[in-house]
Amino acid sequence: MAATNSQTESNSGSSIFGAGGKAPELRTVIKEDVASFEEALLPHLDAAHNLARWLLRNEQDAQDVVQEAYLRAFKSFSGFHGSNGRAWLLTIVRNTSYTLLKKNQAVDFTTFDEEIHVVADEFASPATILEHGEDAELIREAMDALPAEFREILALRHQEGLSYKEIAEIAQVPTGTVMSRLARARGKLKEYLAARIGKDK
């Protein structure tokens, strides 16, 4: 009788947990969670990499940060109940990037005067240049010369096409600050480009 009970328990355990030691229902839930996670965030990996690259100015660091951020996002995905996976992922990428910058003591929150120097209208606006990808190397050089807070605001607005509200959510600042920071960033970028273009003439 004991042997029969033991065999019954063994068969019962096998039918519940399966050969892999996990209930089929649990495996299904895990697969569904992974599928939901990938559906929500995989389309935004390029945007995540772009933001990390502009913030860190180093390709390897950007790749490492995106991997770490993606892992963090997966671990906390059960707590994500929003509809904007891109903004959520970019927030994690941003925070992870700044953590690395601070660790390397490379945070460059340079404060500029509120006044933005106006340059001649003959030069294309930075928004136009960024959106059309003209002279990518010059733009990259100009962007890299800006403080991190300006690089991120330009990348999020002009490369990723995010709204002021989305950028405010990612940067964790008021919308008004986003607009002000963007205006200053455009001004400094345009100023830098004007100086470079004038120098090269």
Q: Is the pLDDT confidence value at 110 over 50? A: no
pLDDT of residue 63: 96
Instruction: For the chain, give every residue range classified as CATH 1.10.10.10.
Output: 126-200
Q: Which residues of 172-185 are buried (b: 16+ CB within 10 A; e: fewer)?
A: eeeeebbeebbebb
Q: 21-30, 101-110, 139-148 — which one is most confidently predicted on average?
A: 139-148
pLDDT of residue 115: 30
Token pair, residue 51, equals 């933001």
Q: Is the pLDDT confidence value at 86 over 50? A: yes
Answer whether CATH 3.90.420.10 is correct for domain 21-103: no
Percentage of the chain lying above the pLDDT 70 cut: 66
The residue among 106 and 104 whose pLDDT is bigger is 104
Confidence of residue 193 (pLDDT cuts 50, 70, 90): confident
pLDDT of residue 19: 47
Confidence of residue 8 (pLDDT cuts 50, 70, 90): very low
pLDDT of residue 142: 85
Q: Is the pLDDT confidence value at 61 over 90? A: yes
Which one, of 186, 176, 124, lies nearest residue 155 by Cα?
Answer: 186
The CATH number assigned to the domain with range 126-200 reads: 1.10.10.10
Instruction: For the chain, give every residue range classified as CATH 1.10.1740.10.
Output: 21-103
Q: Is the pLDDT confidence value at 125 over 90? A: no
Residues ≥6 apart with Cβ < 8 Å to 181: 149, 150, 153, 173
pTM of the entire predicted model: 0.65
pLDDT of residue 120: 29
Token pair, residue 146, equals 């800006």
